[in-house]
Amino acid sequence: MASASSISSYYLHNLCSNILQRDPNSKPRKNITTLNKIRTFPLLHRPPICSSRWEGRDSSTFNIFASVASADIELDETVEKVQLPKGDTWSIHKFGGTCVGTSERIRNVADIIVKDGSERKLVVVSAMSKVTDMMYALIFKAQSRDDSYISTLDAVLEKHKSTALDLLEGDGLSSFLSRLHQDIGNLKAMLRAIYIAGHATESFSDFVVGHGELWSAQLLSSVVQKNGLDCKCMDTRDVLVVNPTSSNQVDPDFLESGKRLEKWYSENPSNMIVATGFIASTPQNIPTTLKRDGSDFSAAIMGALFRARQVTIWTDVDGVYSADPRKVSEAVILKTLSYQEAWEMSYFGANVLHPRTIIPVMTYDIPIVIRNIFNLSAPGTMICQSIGSEDENGQRLESPVKGFATIDNLALVNVEGTGMAGVPGTASAIFSAVKDVGANVIMISQASSEHSVCFAVPENEVKAVSSALESRFRQALDAGRLSQIAVISNCSILATVGQKMASTPGVSASLFSALAKANINIRAIAQGCSEYNVTVVVNREDCIRALRAVHSRFYLSRTTIAMGIIGPGLIGGALLDQLRDQAAVLKEKFNIELRVMGITGSRTMLLSDVGIDLSKWRDLQMEKGEKADMQKFVQRVHGNHFIPNTVIVDCTADSYVASRYYDWLRQGIHVITPNKKANSGPLEQYLKLRALQRQSYTHYFYEATVGAGLPIIKTLQGLLETGDKILRIEGIFSGTLSYIFNNFVGTRAFSDVVKEAKEAGYTEPDPRDDLSGTDVARKVIILARESGLKLELSDIPVQSLVPEPLKASASAEEFMQQLPKFDQDLTKRRQEAEAAGDVLRYVGVVDVINQKGIVELRRYKKEHPFAQLTGSDNIIAFTTQRYEKQPLIVRGPGAGAEVTAGGVFSDILRLASYLGAPS
């Protein structure tokens, strides 16, 4: 009978010859003598560690060093054959790397196994976390002739040694350590060989990297035994047989594996088996692996071989989330997934499950449950045959969209040309060229005419693909039948997965509109006939934003908006306080979540990645404020990819800030403002801004630029949109001037009323800013333009109430001192008006019919609505075709921080409802 060690000697010998016959193009061999020494390394001739029979062998141990048994090794006749009991009595558990990452965690896993009530269990275990990476690094370093592989190997040894010292004692410990040292010694020799050769074959690396699983399985089984359970340790290279396929994958040979399992079990009968994940053998008994993250696959194959009741995959998250929880913080746990949905999710990048895990269990209808080892109270996700998706009334039980996943580092290849249309075999020629270079096509999209075929391949394969296509289609390109073979680099795939999704009307529309609203450009689309998946290709830098946008469309019922507030002065400050007070109600009642990610003044700014605590934004701004920088501010507020929508609220009166709106809108940032500068600035800029607003899904709202919180713009737009014709807009647009003329009733001089208004805080610090009428003129121009007139501010004649000689006064104080000297003129006008039963009012007028605007002091009859005002109210009268005899009047307080902030707030909510918030 062949002993395990003689097989491993044979195998190692094979590996070494492999190196000697390596690729002639690789780096020259350094030292043949050393290599010869390695070929005759004493370990290769060491005496057998144990026999392949289970009797007489410490049941916890097995030959770590490549104990690859051959199927054709005859069983010792004297051993009584034990039949493998298959079926429901078995349950399979798989513990991922993080579950066995430390000695404490291994103890915890052992505890779970011991407590599991199943009659028979097989536990598949991954390498301790990071170990497989370290093992791959060993190979990489050695073949790059980087000496530091030695220290990495020392670290691997140290990690396992200290874990063992923590977990084991007595014989268990010494036997583990002696094997560990032996393995490390062997690995050192092999890595030295790789170092000298500057090359490692695939089978050589597979052999090296698989040690992580050998050690963790050994450790875990020893701990389970220490807990008093009879437990056998299975080196799955003795059982699992797989055939390599062309695309860096392997296909299990279930028949042969089944035979080997029977044999293994007859030698190691037990109700409790700890098996290595990840590793297997080829039919020639060469150790191999199931490729990265393959332990899930190991568990599924075992599930199928044992016809187990269930496969439980233990990991570090509560189950399968609707999206990668590291990218989408709002992702939710999915209770159930069908096999197909799970497959689609994992194929498109949800690495919580290896995509190949599904097939073996699906064959026997074995459910998979994903559970969190760190949260035993979470029930996890059940993956099984699809569960009926409708209740007895025919109502759909769950959303047709289940989850989203992404793959980065892709390139799109676009083969285009009119000569392709209707020519049979074009697609086949394209993909056979791609197959010849061994590239993996992840998705394909083709216009029905074959005029253009476009497909995604991994970025690192695209060069080979495009040259293969160019040479294959040289003639067609030269003849112009093909116009181009274009490569679009830096792409990502975003897959939306859900049973029957594609057959539910409206799903794709919601998906694409969510992407449009987040201003994301789609490069290609594919929807398989399977109805499980709609795949879009986007630019890589947009990928996370796209993922969050679609996820929030289907999962976040609340509309989440990232906000940047510019100008936390009177209005901005009042807005922040209103947001603070209203946030909870908005979230609860309307599912709207507003997160202020940045506040900037002209000197300092405050930024946050998750949202500023508005209950103390003033203190935070003082403590944590940094130097204001508009570019950085916008980048941080908008760059925050977990929130799909961004709005900048400009609460300044600054022209520079207003000049940035166009760029922000172009970047997909919504803009809301009470600042009049953009809409009353140069006409050309205004028209450009409005045109952009109309073309895009990005919104620009400015209700508070006229009449503070009063619905003036909204009313005007409502009239226009419903087809009314505006004839004239006339109103008292200045709260200050309203106050002044409402109180200028003959009891006091005009200058006294101005003084009183200034003292009561109704005027600007310099009252000339109000009395000049420019502010009213800006409001007039905004309304004129909104009504379709193409006027510049300079086209509006403005009657200034600042006496000509005082326009040049140095200061506000000086102006106030001098003003009484000029009272006479206005006193006279007031008396004349009064004598005729009139009052004076300072108004702005948009004369749409004559395409003019004006700002001036006018007389109104005492019965006129304008004469009835009190305080600082605004009043605006719209005379239209529908409201011709009786104008439509909007009246109310039109100035002050609170009401202006209220107007801005109402624009923010309007934005939220445009973005899909419930009404």
191-to-128, 205, 280 alpha-carbon distances in Å? 21, 10, 21
Closer to ligand ADP by Cβ: residue 371 or 676: 371
Tell me how far apart the alpha carbons of residues 442 and 426 are, in angstroms, rounded to a whole number.
Answer: 19
Nearer to ligand ADP, 134 or 889 (CB): 134
**Strand 368-372 relative to strand 443-446, pairing:** unpaired
Q: Is 277 in the site for ligand ASP (CB under 6 A)?
A: yes
Q: Which does 317 bind (CB under 5 to 8 A by kind): ligand ASP, Mg ion, ligand ADP, none?
A: ligand ADP
Specify the stretch interacting with ligand ADP by CB under 6 A; choose among 223-231, 346-354, 428-436, 639-647.
346-354
CB of 268 to ligand ASP, least distance (A): 23
314: β partners: 95, 371
Say which entry of Mg ion, ligand ASP, ligand ADP, none residue 325 contacts (CB below 5 to 8 A, set by partner kind). ligand ADP
350 lies in the site for ligand ADP, by CB under 6 A: yes
Taking the C-alpha atoms of residue 887 and residue 880, their distance in angstroms, rounded to an integer, is 7
Phi, psi of 600 (to 5 degrees): -130, 135
Least separation in angstroms between residue 292's CB and ligand ASP is 4
Q: Can residue 330 be called a binding residue for ligand ADP (CB under 6 A)?
A: no
Quick check: 325 binds ligand ADP (CB under 6 A)? Answer: yes
Among 108, 295, 315, 372, binds ligand ASP (CB under 6 A): 295
Report which secondary-structure segment, H or E, holds 539.
strand 533-539
Q: Least distance (Å) from ligand ASP to the CB of residue 163?
A: 16
Q: How far is the CB of 325 from ligand ADP (least distance, A)?
A: 6
**Binding region for ligand ASP (CB under 6 A) out of 126-134, 300-308, 318-326, 676-684:** 126-134
Applying CB under 6 A, among 287, 294, 573, 668 the residue interacting with ligand ASP is 294
Cβ proximity to ligand ADP: between 410 and 737 the closer is 410
Strand order in the sheet with 90-95: 232-234, 272-276, 120-125, 90-95, 310-315, 368-372, 381-384, 336-338
Question: Which residue among the candidates 226, 327, 758, 779 is catalytic per the annotation?
Answer: 779
Q: How many residues bind ligand ASP (CB under 6 A)?
A: 13
Residue 424 CA to residue 288 CA, distance in Å, equals: 41
One character per residue 178-217, x = contact with ligand ASP (rule: CB under 6 A): ----------------------------------x-----
| Beta-strand pair 90-95/310-315 | parallel
Min separation Cβ 317 and ligand ADP, Å: 4
Is residue 101 close enough to count as binding ligand ADP by CB under 6 A? no
Q: State the SS3 of 39-93.
A: HCCHHHHCCCCCCCCCCCCCCCCCCCCCCCCCCCCCCCCCCCCCCCCCCCCEEEE
Beta bridge partners of 845: 730, 854
Q: Which C-beta is closer to ligand ADP: that of 379 or that of 865?
A: 379
Containing H/E element for 603? Answer: none
Q: Is residue 235 part of the contact set for ligand ASP (CB under 6 A)?
A: no
Question: Is 847 near ligand ADP (CB under 6 A)?
Answer: no
Applying CB under 6 A, does 320 fall inside the site for ligand ADP? yes
Distance set, CA 540 to CA 444, 547, 548, 697 (Å): 18, 11, 14, 21
Q: What's phi and psi for 827, nearest 5 deg?
A: -60, -40
Instruction: Give min distance, CB of 526 to ligand ADP, in A.
Output: 20
Does the footprint of ligand ADP cover residue 64 (CB under 6 A)?
no
CB 275 to ligand ASP: min, Å: 13
- 542 part of the interface to ligand ADP, by CB under 6 A: no
Q: Which one of 315, 372, 872, 879 is in contact with ligand ADP (CB under 6 A)?
A: 315
Q: Answer yes or no whether residue 97 interacts with ligand ADP by CB under 6 A.
A: yes
Give the three-state DSSP class for 732: strand
Closest of 908, 849, 872, 843 to residue 761, by C-alpha = 872
Q: How many CB atoms lie within 10 A of CB 749?
A: 16
CA dihedral of residues 46, 47, 50, 52 (deg, nearest 10): 90
CA–CA separation, 99 and 214 (whole Å): 16
Told to check if 293 binds ligand ASP by CB under 6 A, we report: yes
Assess 321 for contact with ligand ADP (CB under 6 A): yes
352 binds ligand ADP (CB under 6 A): yes
Residue whose entry in the numeric block shows the structure tokens 């529309």: 509
User: Which residue stretch of 231-239, 268-276, 290-298, 777-785 sits at the interface with ligand ASP (rule: CB under 6 A)?
Assistant: 290-298
Of 782, 651, 803, the C-alpha closest to 707 is 782
Pick 60 or 126: Cβ nearer ligand ADP? 126
Q: Which does 278 bind (CB under 5 to 8 A by kind): Mg ion, ligand ASP, ligand ADP, none?
A: ligand ASP
Q: Is 172:220 a contact under the CB 8 Å cutoff?
A: no
Candidate ranges 286-294, 617-625, 710-718, 855-863; the one touching ligand ASP (CB under 6 A): 286-294
Query: Cβ(311)–Cβ(380) under 8 Å?
Result: no
Q: How far is CA 438 from the centre of its chain?
A: 30
Strand 838-847 to 670-672 pairing: unpaired
* Cβ-based nearer residue to ligand ASP, 278 or 701: 278
Using the minimum distance from each CB to ligand ASP, give the nearer residue, 265 or 278.
278
By the rule CB under 6 A, 287 interacts with ligand ASP: no
Nearer to ligand ADP, 115 or 326 (CB): 326
Residue 778: strand, helix, or coil: helix
Q: Is 355 in the site for ligand ADP (CB under 6 A)?
A: no
Q: Going edge to edge, which strands form the sheet with 645-650?
A: 626-627, 604-607, 592-600, 559-566, 645-650, 670-672, 700-701
> In the window 711-750, what residues touch ligand ADP (CB under 6 A)?
none
State whether the Cα torsion 879-882-885-891 is positive or negative: negative
**Quick check: 126 binds ligand ASP (CB under 6 A)?**
yes
C-alpha 219: how far from chain center: 38
Q: Which does 482 bind (CB under 5 to 8 A by kind): ligand ASP, Mg ion, ligand ADP, none?
A: none
How far apart (Å, rounded) are the C-alpha atoms in residues 45 and 47? 6
Q: Among 47, 56, 326, 393, which residue interacts with ligand ADP (rule: CB under 6 A)? A: 326
Provide the H-helix boundaries in 760-896: 768-771, 774-786, 812-818, 823-835
Task: Please tell me whether residue 101 binds ligand ASP under the rule CB under 6 A.
Answer: no
Select the residue interacting with ligand ADP from 61, 98, 118, 452 (CB under 6 A). Answer: 98
Identify which of residues 268 and 298 has a Cβ nearer to ligand ASP in the complex: 298
Q: Which residues pair with 487 in a beta bridge?
A: 413
Q: Which amino acid is at 542?
A: D
Residues that bind Mg ion (CB under 5 A): 293
Write down the least CB distance from residue 909 to ligand ASP, Å. 48
* 877, interface contact from ligand ADP, ligand ASP, Mg ion, none, CB < 5-8 Å by kind: none
Residue whose CB is less far from ligand ADP, 370 or 565:
370
Which phi and psi (to 5°) does residue 188 adopt? -60, -45
Tokens at 496, concatenated: 């939306």
Q: Which of these ranges, 147-155, 287-295, 509-517, 519-527, lies near ligand ASP under the rule CB under 6 A?
A: 287-295
- Please say which residue, 67 or 132, places its beta carbon nearer to Mg ion: 132
885 labelled catalytic: no
Dihedral sign from CA coordinates of 882, 886, 892, 894: positive
Q: Is 97 in the site for ligand ASP (CB under 6 A)?
A: yes
Supply the residues annotated as catalytic.
779
* Site residues, ligand ADP (CB under 6 A): 96-98, 126, 293, 315-317, 320-321, 323-326, 350-352, 403
* List of residues contacting ligand ASP (CB under 6 A): 96-97, 126-127, 132, 212, 277-278, 292-296
